[in-house]
Structure 1
Amino acid sequence: MSLQRIGVIGAGQMGAGIAQVAAQAGIAVVMHDITPELCKRGVDSIARNLDRMVERGRFKPEERDRVIRRVETTTRLEDLAGLGFVIEAVIENEDAKIALLQKLDKICPPETIFASNTSSISITKMGARTSRAGRVIGMHFMNPVPAMKLVEIIRGLATSDATFQQTRSLAEQLGKTTMTAQDFPGFIVNRVLLPMINEAIYTMYEGVGGVTDIDIAMKLGTNQPMGPLELADLIGLDTCLAIMEVMHRVLGDDKYRACPLLKKYVDAGYLGRKSGRGFYVYDEKGTLIPPPR
């Protein structure tokens, strides 16, 4: 069954990207964030992405305008009450996500599906803290959402077959390819990806190579389109740290221990592209400023 209207909570990098691909697919979106300024920032991000598509001849200006008009913003969770499918894309923090789902649980009708864009947190645990565990599911989009084809779908222990089928159908409606992961920390993508990024940070921390040396080595030596440190900046170093800490805490294996340098960067506010500085430096538009050679 095709959905005509969905909710997206969080107007940041991931939430705005999800709202954009939904609007491009002809779906009306109610995008929520806590302040009008954050909502506007999300819409502005979508507009910039669409402007680039117009410049490249992939979109006509009138198509861009239609997509933008499909995105409605709100700071009131109550405005999501009439929707049948809500995707949360807030900070990667278990307590924050559970608190949000519990608020939504009181607002939305029992049949509404709650999909979490979490990178690592237990879907089973989040679902169990609501009154609708069968209608809670993981829907992990890759970053940047408009460019990446994959959506990782994660079933909690109680997630129903109907919820799984409707979630997969929505992902396909958005033009995405899906795969299913079991509900373990990091799921599949980040279970493999984040330890690699963490090891690249250790390689820098221990003086084996500099930032550009490590990224060039991995791009040209293993045919990756982006080096692990540049990718960490794109994901957000705070998100990388949060995922590593979840895997380390739940799985109890020191191979998932976050590098001290990653913690230091996050403490300093060096979060990557979104803060203008991570392992690289970025301008106000998020464009990488090449380091001197």
Structure 2
Amino acid sequence: MLRTETRHAIDPATAKTLDTDQLRDHFHVAGLFADGEINLVYSHYDRLILGSAVPAGKALTLDKVEATGTATILERREMGVLNIGDTGTVSVGGEDYELETGEVLYIGMGAGPVTFAGAGRFYVLSAPAHQTYPTTLIKLKDARRVEMGARETANERVIIQFLHPEVCKSCQLLMGYTQFAEGSVWNTMPAHLHDRRMEAYLYFQLPENQRVFHLMGEPSQTRHIVMANEEAVISPPWSIHAGAGTSSYTFCWAMAGDNVDFTDMDMVAMGDLR
């Protein structure tokens, strides 16, 4: 079963006027991972698609998506797939790729239908592309690891980069995830902006009774959205994207926009946040 939802872009002036429910309607994504379903959200921010596929014992094929207006989803797009479940298989272009927990598959433009099988819980991201790069399975040992933060500031973490110029070529999609050490809870602080591209977060490996308070909005007009395990949030180019949890957690970050320079960001001083 395929379910698709569209989220339209709004400007920061409008975002200032939204109450909690309205903020969640525009930016919060819940209920993604459902057994036997493919669920997609088509965002008008840089036309990023985020979603999930949970085979749960039967194969699921992702092919035509009405929102893209093409014969198959990858006709003019690329895709990244992260497995946050047990071992699963992704089949594309006549090849089967076995993904262990925490591994990522990059799928290039024009690869055709994508089939998900096995015990995986697949997080799916797709962005428009103008060039084809080879479909590549990226094992954990091949990802780029960047250790940052400190226990004293409650942000000791490792950034694991998969779709990154130094790991795997892509057209515009950047993707990886950040894992926190026990007792560390703050992400992406001091905050930053990158007006040249949007971002999406998936929070996972968060205990059921814990939450992450995701911070968004312009630096002078911050808002928060309360996130549970395996929920996603869409971050517009004009918004900060940071947060703190009631326990440690992991989040998958993905970006689409004008460039693939991971460090292209405009820092926000702590004293400028409101």
**What is the TM-score of this pair, normalised by structure 1?**
0.27
- Bigger strand fraction: 2
- Bigger helix fraction: 1
If you compute each CA radius of gyration, which structure gives the higher value, 1 or 2?
1
Flag the structure with more relative contact order, 1 or 2, with Cα contacts below 8 A and sequence separation at least 6.
2
